[in-house]
Chains A and B, each alone.
Chain A
């Protein structure tokens, strides 16, 4: 799959035509929302925690430079090597060099959207280093040569039959579609990789400034094994992922698993504050943290859109989004998807490359309502649509149509004529048909124009009320 949003219209058409995927995604999303509602509803102080976390994150973003310096200094005091990557290329080079220096020909990886964002796997593979995704969902999509279709559940779009076939083809095992057997196959396949890898790569859910450590949250125990079995651990983390101190962590740990997977706690919360003790015989000998900018400092420069950097990647907005439920994650064309993806894509990739993403939303507000940090995604999408138009990146016909509309809407007489005319003209169409609208009518019914028109009806209503 082309990992750019250039072909987004094609992806959307493909997604809409794929009924099994639409059904799978919609069902899974609905189940996730129900689980989240149950857990959130059982925490009497849920709203208070949301506000607390929001105020913590706002403070961090507005003093990000100070928190980063504190984080760097405390990590270094704990023996963690801190690297700064201006962009994806720089992050790839840093990780590649660490891998070469430790002689790794294969690396195990736990789920990390940030490494997806910088295209790390492709880079490592091109440089003779095999990247092995160890999260089950990530492992499946990697074997298929796809990208994740959900922030939290990467293989959400696949059926058990799809997974059975890919394991049969790529791992040479007997076909099965039993979820327990499929999980066992992955466990056996990947355990050997964990034991032989010289380097493990993870993301980080949180960087904790005062204590100089990172936190990785997971369920499968693959992240635990990734960060503790190989000799070298590298965590790639966006600069916005900081929280002030350990005391803030429990608030975030209340919201993240509940919003992501409908759990009170994830099965494993790994807090990593440096290499293994000398002589202890386990734990990595080197821990590296790569702090990635890749456009985040630019996003910070927009007083409104800065709020999108608060995202903790729980995926709750995807599950609640009526558009995501219909088109799934691949239609967004990049590694971030759903409502927050629609807001991030044009900011990371620019208004030209990401011009369609902000339109993949009905602006219904369900994302804002469910977001644990109450990020006002609809407001940001409107601003981003506006930026796309101002950057002259909207379509030619759209621009012409909008100009004509603006011309008519500003002139009541013209407006009255152009709304009156189709209502009268449609009488010439045989069999009370509506005007043809090629493309639009392929999947929807279009009604006939009201021959009376809104203005006329409204005036009549007003007279009646008087």
Chain B
């Protein structure tokens, strides 16, 4: 790049903008009716929001379960692991997911646990790209579209969310928000720049519009709402 390219482009744009616009205004683009409509979309109570979240997850081929505590979470994760027969469980770092993984391992000594954050970059990629399952946390969940939101800076590794074939996600009730508009209001100022919204397993319909789950990322996404972290 040269500065002249930059300056030439900006000069051309400024010169073009001297021509009056003939783009008609969007009739009725007032803020008020839209804000009213968005407010009407908010949920009356947490239970309604949770029900909607579960429905939306089902619509994108993701599973949803309510987990009373860590013991229930370990039982649930163990059952999901058994569906695909994986012997490797990946977690991002120390914390609740590692605790749950260890609880599963106490019943399944053959289970290998990988803590992604403990591996160096190249090894992390190579290990996680092998057939495996992951147990991860997210930062927010969005009820109206069944999305999970991961902020890069809140996790030691984002690869467990994308590389393994089966991804189990722990969500806390207080992380559930109505929609993206509500998310934007609560996002930390410095977190805006690096995040991912995940909505169900990876998918493609590039062969004759036939929907196939598991294109390049996870084939299975299972969400467990953990009521109590104990």
Contact = CB atoms under 8 A, between A and B. Distances in A.
Given A267-B60, A293-B12, A183 B214 contact: yes
A447 to B, nearest CB: 39
A282 B206 contact: no
A255 B4 CA distance: 37
A137 interface: yes
B16 A298 contact: yes
Contacts, number: 257
B229 interface: no
B56 interface: yes
Given A44-B37, A68-B10, A219-B202, A179 B212 contact: yes
Contacts of B37: 44-45, 48
B210 A55 contact: no
Contacts of A225: 162-163, 216-217
Nearest to B27: A51
A344 to B, nearest CB: 16
Given A55-B25, A64-B13, A224-B162, A84 B193 contact: no
Interface centre among B40, B125, B197, B206 (most CB of A within 10 A): B206
What size tier do the contact residues of chain B reach?
35 or more
Contacts of A302: 19
B26 A281 contact: no
B5 A84 contact: yes
A267 B193 contact: no
B193 A31 contact: no
Contacts of A347: none
Contact of A68 (B13, B121, B181, B208): B13
B228 interface: no
Interface residues of A, number: 102
Nearest to B211: A179
B90 interface: no
Given A31-B209, A136-B207, A272 B194 contact: yes
Contact of B204 (A55, A63, A220, A249): A220
A228 B158 contact: yes
B9 A213 contact: no
Interface string B175-188: 00001110110010
A24 B208 contact: yes
Interface stretch (A303-311, A349-357, A416-424): A303-311
A195 interface: yes
A237 interface: no
Contacts of B83: none
B29 interface: yes
Contacts of B157: 280-282
A239 B22 CA distance: 20
Contact of B216 (A24, A55, A221, A291): A221
Interface in A96-136: 134-136
B196 A249 contact: no
B187 A301 contact: no
A49 interface: yes
Contact of A271 (B147, B194, B208, B217): B194
Contacts of B206: 135-137, 140, 153-155, 183
A142 B19 CA distance: 41
A233 to B, nearest CB: 12
Given A268-B198, A271-B195, A374 B215 contact: no
Given A64-B17, A180-B212, A52 B203 contact: no
Contact of B180 (A86, A249, A273, A298): A249
B192 interface: yes
Nearest to B6: A84
Given A52-B29, A137-B206, A163-B207, A264 B22 contact: no
Contacts of A163: 207
Nearest to A307: B23
Contacts of A376: 24
B215 A219 contact: yes
B166 to A, nearest CB: 14
A268 B202 contact: yes
A297 B147 contact: no
A297 B207 contact: no
A222 B184 contact: no
A297 B1 contact: no
Given A31-B209, A45-B37, A136 B204 contact: yes
A61 interface: yes
A253 B40 CA distance: 19
Contacts of B28: 47-48, 51
A265 B208 contact: no
Nearest to B28: A51
A244 to B, nearest CB: 13
Nearest to A246: B192
A171 B25 CA distance: 52
B193 A303 contact: no
B17 A65 contact: yes
Given A153-B206, A224-B217, A267-B201, A51 B184 contact: no
B202 A220 contact: yes
Counting from the closest, the 4 A-B pairs by CB-CB distance are A273-B193, A221-B217, A301-B16, A45-B37
Given A225-B163, A281-B121, 12 more contacts: A54-B26, A159-B208, A179-B207, A183-B206, A213-B193, A228-B159, A228-B162, A249-B180, A282-B125, A283-B152, A302-B19, A303-B22
Interface of B: 1, 5-6, 8-10, 12-17, 19-29, 31, 33-34, 37-38, 40-41, 56, 59-60, 117, 119-121, 124-126, 129, 144-147, 152-153, 156-159, 162-163, 179-181, 183-184, 187, 192-210, 212, 214-218
10 contacts: A54-B29, A84-B9, A154-B206, A190-B216, A221-B216, A249-B180, A269-B197, A270-B196, A283-B158, A307-B23
